[in-house]
Amino acid sequence: MSSKIPDTLYPVVVVQDRYQGVYSGGAWLCVAAADTMEGQLHRASWVLKFGPGSDDLTAAIFWATAPSWIASGRTPELAIDSLLAKVSDHTLE
């Protein structure tokens, strides 16, 4: 990892992309503030079941308008770097 993750983004979770980058552009996903609730689940669980981890159509739609709290990369380190670049002001939507 080339950059320090700011405290405002913790906890950060990195998981493999179900679709191996077909929709996200990267084989790994990085989720910021992974303990924040999205509906009834924490983001870390939500991304595995819904959005990017759901069926093909839902995953494609999710990535077309992906929120700032998730990013992808070819490697876990690149997914983290992508997230840091996406939230360079260290704020999440």
DSSP string, 12-73: -EEEE-TTTTTTTSSSEEEESSTTSEETTEEHHHHHHHSGGGS-HHHHHHHHHT--TTEEEE
Which residue type, as a one-letter code, is found at position 21? G
For residue 49, name the pLDDT band (cuts at 50, 70, 90).
Answer: very high
Q: Does an H or E element contain 55, and which?
A: none
Residue 57's CB is within 10 A of a number of other CB atoms, namely 9
Structural domain count, the chain: 1
Q: What is the mean pLDDT of residues 9-20?
A: 97
Q: Is residue 91 part of a domain?
A: no
Residue 13 lies inside a defined structural domain of this protein: yes
Q: Which domain holds residue 19?
A: 7-86
Q: Record the tokens describing residue 17, joined without a space.
A: 């992309």
Residue 93 lies in a domain: no
Task: Indicate the pTM of the whole model.
Answer: 0.91
